[in-house]
Structure 1
Amino acid sequence: MSHLKALKLTSAVPARATIDPVLRAREKMIATLTEQKQMAEAKIAGQAFAPKHIVRKKDVDGQRIEVEALKRVRQGWFTDGSGKVFFSVRYAGKAIEFAKDKNAIEVGDIAALPAVFDTLIEAVRAGELDSQLVIAAAERGRLLRKPV
């Protein structure tokens, strides 16, 4: 006990890093748009897009290990009956509305998709979609909460 008396004992907790929810939503949207841009560029070039990420699994001994696995990425663009390409931004499982009843961007040709993604990434960085992202995240949070 004489060794512990030489130390200054106190009650302390580490400070939690508080990240602004708007900044977090922006970062998530930028990461998603960047991934969509990479997928579009691969499709234009005629290559396969196969991103990987680290997952944790249990091995045969029951130990947790990290393994690299293919990441499932859903394509955000679609074509209509006439062959026009449209892109719909989704966040928290819901399509984002850019204006009243306007939830998609008309791209026209698939070759124009990377430029649209660049424009959207700059719009997100400038904060032009903050209100839509916050609303979508709040709705998602309400859906995930268990009723009391």
Structure 2
Amino acid sequence: MTSLLSKLELTAKPQQPTDKLTQRRNKLLERLTTQKEIIRCLLNNEVFSAFREVSKLDELTGQSIKEKVPRRVKPWFYKIQDQYFLEVRYGAKPLELAKNKHAIAVGDESRLNEVLDVVIDAVKAGELDTQLAAIRRVGAK
């Protein structure tokens, strides 16, 4: 059996490079996709519901089982005086899109989807990379 393995080229497991900026960009894109789903539900007069999987211990068998639990997702858009605004958030804080400007004036609710698509394209193009790079982890000094 050793002679068969000796014919193969054996290597250590290659590690995926973990680029913090790419991870943050992907996380933001994932959250923006969730916001797009919230907007779709708003425009179609549907109720949005999100779930996450939690591992729990089954009392009878003692095995770990995965259970879907509802989770609360806050919309990043809000309405003030018949006009909608959109904040792009990372975690609990809105990103500063320009100097002292954290929100995007959307106007009518029908434009929310269109504006969010532009934001998604901007994130994919790397236009928010400086803001994402400036984010510090909670508790980090």
TM-score grouping bracket, smaller chain normalisation: 0.7 to 0.9
Q: Gapped runs of 5+ residues in structure 2?
A: none
Report Cα offsets for 1:11-32 as digits up to 9, x if no partner. Answer: x964432221111111111111
Greater helix proportion: 1
Deviating beyond 3 angstroms after TM superposition, the runs of 4 or more aligned structure 1 residues are: 12-16
1:1-148 correspondence runs (5 A): 14-61=13-60, 62-80=62-80, 82-136=81-135, 139=136, 141=137, 143-145=138-140
Identify the structure with bigger relative contact order (alpha carbons < 8 Å, sequence gap 6+): 1
Q: After superposition, what is the alpha-carbon deviation per residue over 1:28-75, rounded to whole angstroms, capped at 9, x for unaligned?
A: 111111110110111110011112232212222443211122232111
Aligned-pair Cα RMSD in Å: 2.2
Where structure 1 has 5 or more consecutive residues not aligned to the other structure, the ranges are: 1-6
TM-score w.r.t. structure 1 length? 0.80
Counting matched residue pairs gives 134
Q: Greater strand percent: which structure?
A: 2
Name the % identity: 33
- Distance in 2 (alpha carbons) for counterparts of 1:83 and 1:58: 48
Q: Deviations over 1:74-102 (max 9, x none)?
A: 1111112x121101111032110111010
